[in-house]
Amino acid sequence: MPPKRVHPLQFLSSTRLVVVAGKGGVGKTTVTAVLARAAFRAGMRVLAVDLDGKPTLADLLPDQPSESISAKAALAEYLETHGLHRVAKRLATSGVIDVVANAAPGIDDIVVLGKLKQLERSEDFDVILVDGPAAGHAITLLLAPASLQAAVRGGPIRTQAEEVADMLADHQRCQACLVTLPEATPIAEALETAAALRDRVGVRLGPMVVNAVDLGTKLDEQAGGGGSAMARAAVFTNARRAMHAAQARALDESWGGTHLTVPLVDGATLDAAEVDRLAAAIVGGR
């Protein structure tokens, strides 16, 4: 069966909000930046959103719009607009905000999703890419509307949850995109996360992004004589490449959807120039 690859721009034009998710260390931020860069290079109006409050994403995309949304700030803002403006600050610094955040399950998640929905509705952007939380928390985040609707019968939070649920259910408005590495454990975990997102959240899944793939061909393992530095390095690199290729095949067999490949970075550090180069590579090639 031929690999079901998808052109990144085709995917990025098919929905307005993309939540990028995956286990820690798989390169979610890199992939978010590369996809946002690819859209930017194609002339799309794109916003990159980070939920961690770390400056990394903005640094990787210095000349295009990006924004940071923190759960704490979003919750404080929500409380302010709902009659708690005078105490919101004190609540935030005293730890009591945790009580509010946990009085209803996932209230901090819903205010973050509410902010994203607001951006999506604004129509200021063709596509919004969100550097989402690590896999386990991504499921909790996206499940928040459903669990809140079960727990809260009325009021502004319920309305918010209903509106966010509508957005998640509409694939023309929102899709999730999972990132993984071409190794057995990360792929197995990504497939589990995919199943959970599909069955429990009901959000449409975009392509599975396989990050840091070594795309080179097989090297001569006898170069310089067996046992030489060159030969041993070739054996190592061949083993890694064979593993990457085997894992890509295994993914195609068990994953019903499409996938995208982001090549391995050889550079010293991942910087804006490298992101731009990777964006050109994924749009131009495979």
Partner 1 sequence: MSALADTLDRAEVLICCGSGGVGKTTTAAAIALQAAQHGRRAVVMTIDPARRLADALGVPGALGNDPVRLDAEGAGELWALMLDASTTFDGLVLKYAADDLQAERILANPFYRNVASTLSGTQEFMAAERLHALHHDPRFDLVVVDTPPSRNALDFLAAPSTLTRFLDHPLFKVLMLPARRGFRVLNLATQPILRSIGKAVGGEVLADAIAFFQAFQGMETGFRSRADEVNSLVRDAGVTRFVLVASPRADAVAEAAFFASRLSDYHVRVSALVVNRSTPSFGDPPDTVPRAAAGRASYDNLVRLNTMAGHERDNIRKALGRLADAATWVPLLAHDVHDMASLEAIRFHLFEATG
Site for partner 1 in 64-93 (CB under 8 A): 78-79, 82-84, 87
Identity of the residue, 16 or 148, whose beta carbon is nearer to partner 1 in the bound complex: 148
| Nearer to partner 1 among residue 22 and residue 207 (C-beta) | 22
Give the closest residue to 145 by CA, choosing from 176, 104, 180. Answer: 104
| Under rule CB under 8 A, residue 101 binds partner 1 | yes
DSSP β-bridge partners for residue 21? 178
How far is residue 272's CA from residue 265's CA, in Å, rounded to a whole number? Answer: 13
Q: What is the DSSP letter of 5?
A: B
136 contributes a contact to partner 1 by CB under 8 A: yes
Which CB, 2 or 154, lies closer to partner 1? 154
Give the count of residues interacting with partner 1 (CB under 8 A). 76
By CB under 8 A, tell whether 284 contacts partner 1: no
Pick from 233, 250, 281, 283: which binds partner 1 (CB under 8 A)?
233
Cα–Cα distance measured from residue 175 to residue 266, given in angstroms and rounded to the nearest whole number = 30
Handedness of CA 98, 85, 147, 171 (dihedral sign): negative
- What's the CA gap between 83 and 85, in Å, rounded? 6
Q: Does 183 bind partner 1 (CB under 8 A)?
A: yes
79 or 197, CB closer to partner 1?
Answer: 79
3 state SS of 68: strand
SS3 209: strand
- x/- letters, 9..48, toward partner 1 (CB under 8 A): --------------xxxxx-xx------------------
DSSP run (H or E) holding 262: strand 259-263
Nearer to partner 1, 78 or 125 (CB): 78
**Is 243 among the residues that bind partner 1 (CB under 8 A)?**
yes
